[in-house]
Amino acid sequence: MKKQLGVLIPLLAVSVVVFLGYKGFGWENSFKAVSNLPLPWQEGSKREAWMTFQNYLEFARTHNLSGIRSLSHQISAACNDQSREEECFALMDSVYAFASQLELGAFQRIQMDERQIIMFTDGPAVAILYFTRDANGTPKVLGLRFCLEDETAQGKCVEIDSIKHDENNNGWWDSVESLFY
């Protein structure tokens, strides 16, 4: 009888866990809380995207338009028009001034697939970096947004459940596609 209990009790415990699942034990929120943290296999892509962004910022600082073109998904109208060079340089200066203070360690959240990468910080001041990937998978800078999550905000700056939403099913997440022009 003792031998049977030694086998029966662990089987019963395993059955309860399987029957109730992780939701029944309240573990669901634990898994959700870290669902957007970088996984070990994402760290390489995160670092590659960050290096692309750092090189982009250096090109912006030095007004290297050909360097910016090589790392960008798209170029602004001002930078595509030689007659608007002064305006283009002012845009580069602005990007550098805002973004050069950002640090890789602050970007604890990441979502990615084979076409796009979104990295973002925690609130209350949220920085969101958007990248696309070229045919070789190399990250290209798409955009940077800032958002404030304070007591007056009606929602979160980045909604994890909807970040990968693709309403027209073309492979581009709506949040990424909204930056295309």
Annotate 120-172 with DSSP letters as a single string: E--SSEEEEEEEEE-TT--EEEEEEEEEE-STT-SS-SS-TTTTT--TT-SSS
Local confidence band at 17 (pLDDT 50, 70, 90 cut-offs): very low
Tokens 């939701």, residue located: 23
Which of 80, 85, 76, 68 lies closest to 141 in space, CA to CA? Answer: 68
Q: What burial class does residue 165 get, using C-beta atoms within 10 Å of its C-beta: 0-12 exposed, 13-18 middle, 19+ buried?
A: exposed
Non-local (6+) Cβ contacts of 167 within 8 A are: 174
What pLDDT does 63 receive? 97
pLDDT at position 31 over 50: no
Which of 33, 181, 36 lies closest to 112 in space, CA to CA? Answer: 36
Local confidence band at 69 (pLDDT 50, 70, 90 cut-offs): very high
Domain spans in the chain, listed from the N-terminal domain onward: 38-177
Tokens 């960008």, residue located: 72
- Take residue 170 and report the two structure tokens written for it: 């073309």
**What angle is formed at CA 142 by the lines to CA 179 and CA 52, rounded to 5 degrees?**
170
Q: At what angle do helices 43-61 and 85-99 cross, to 10 degrees?
A: 130
CB distance 173 to 116 below 8 Å: yes
Q: E strand or H helix at 21, and its extent?
A: helix 2-24
- Take residue 72 and report the two structure tokens written for it: 């960008």
Mean pLDDT of 1-5: 55
Which tops the pLDDT comparison, 101 or 161? Answer: 101
Mean pLDDT of 137-149: 93
d(CA 161, CA 100): 29
